[in-house]
Amino acid sequence: MSPTTFTTLGGRLTLEDTAPRPTEDPLWLSAFIPPLPQGARVLDCGTGSGIAALSLLIRQPHITAEALDIDPTFTALAQRNAQLNNLPLTTHTADILSHPALGPYDAILCNPPYHEESRGHTTPNPLKKQAHSLPEGDLTRWLTALQKLLSPSGTLHLILHMACEAELTAFAQSHAKILHLTPLQTAANKPPKRLLALLENTGPHQLHRHNPIPAYSPQTRQQFLT
């Protein structure tokens, strides 16, 4: 029996309809990756369904995409989704915190866990818990592991909860990174909950704050999510 599927990215991307269904966060992340050079080697870390890597391949088909996840169930799912869309994707099953022998990459995109377990932000769903929660201080460990896989001129692209801003900024400062922060505002009358971040290896440290993206606007959604 063929798996149940759904489409996203304006119908351009087909994915297996698994539970939990991926959020729009990876789509926003891939939409804000600047144009990469021909043959650029890109890693999607914590790939899950593969949605970020695959949507980036659709937007920038000239890159070489790889995907990593700690869970072999997810890397198998990402590979099946790549096949559904006839897209070339190499997958790796490994824990990013074990510093796998991969790279170097011209760009890494990541939607890392951001809810600290100590603050009670957890869920009974084991897949959601693995994807969204982590012990206190592990975000810095993730950032450290990710930047070690970058080429000297490589860039790190993240989508995070706004609560991660202080830890992310401290990391950029201590590692002499240029940091660009762009809030993603999903409701007109509420403060942003998500943060798009770009870390550049070519310091010295600078911090650039950009205007929020009105993600609730139909025109903005049409521009970036199709």
Residue 59 sits in a domain of what CATH number? Answer: 3.40.50.150
- What is the pLDDT, as a whole number, of residue 201? 86
Distance CA 145, CA 61 (A): 27
The DSSP output letter for 98 is G
Query: Is 91 a domain residue?
Result: yes
Q: Is residue 25 part of a domain?
A: yes
Q: Is residue 132 part of a domain?
A: no
pLDDT at position 222, please?
96
126, part of any domain? no
pLDDT at 215: 96
Q: Is residue 209 part of a domain?
A: yes
Task: Name the residue range of residue 71's domain.
Answer: 10-113+139-224
DSSP state, residue 19: S
Q: Which residues contact 58 (CB under 8 A, 6 or more apart)?
A: 9, 12, 13, 85, 87
Count of domains for the chain: 1
pLDDT at 20: 87
Q: What pLDDT tens digit does each residue of the chain (226 aa) get?
A: 778 999 999 999 999 999 889 999 999 999 999 999 999 999 999 999 999 999 999 999 999 999 999 999 999 999 999 999 999 999 999 999 999 999 999 999 999 885 444 444 444 544 444 444 455 568 999 999 999 999 999 999 999 999 999 999 999 999 999 999 999 999 999 999 999 999 998 778 999 999 999 999 999 999 999 9
Tell me if 124 is assigned to some domain.
no
Structural domain contains residue 123: no
Please tell me whether the peptide bond between 126 and the residue prior to it is cis, using omega within 30 degrees of 0: no
Specify whether the CB–CB gap between 108 and 157 falls below 8 A: yes
pLDDT at 114: 58
For residue 5, tell me if it sits in a domain.
no
Which tokens in the block code for residue 111? 């939607």
Integer Cα distance of 127 and 138 in angstroms = 18
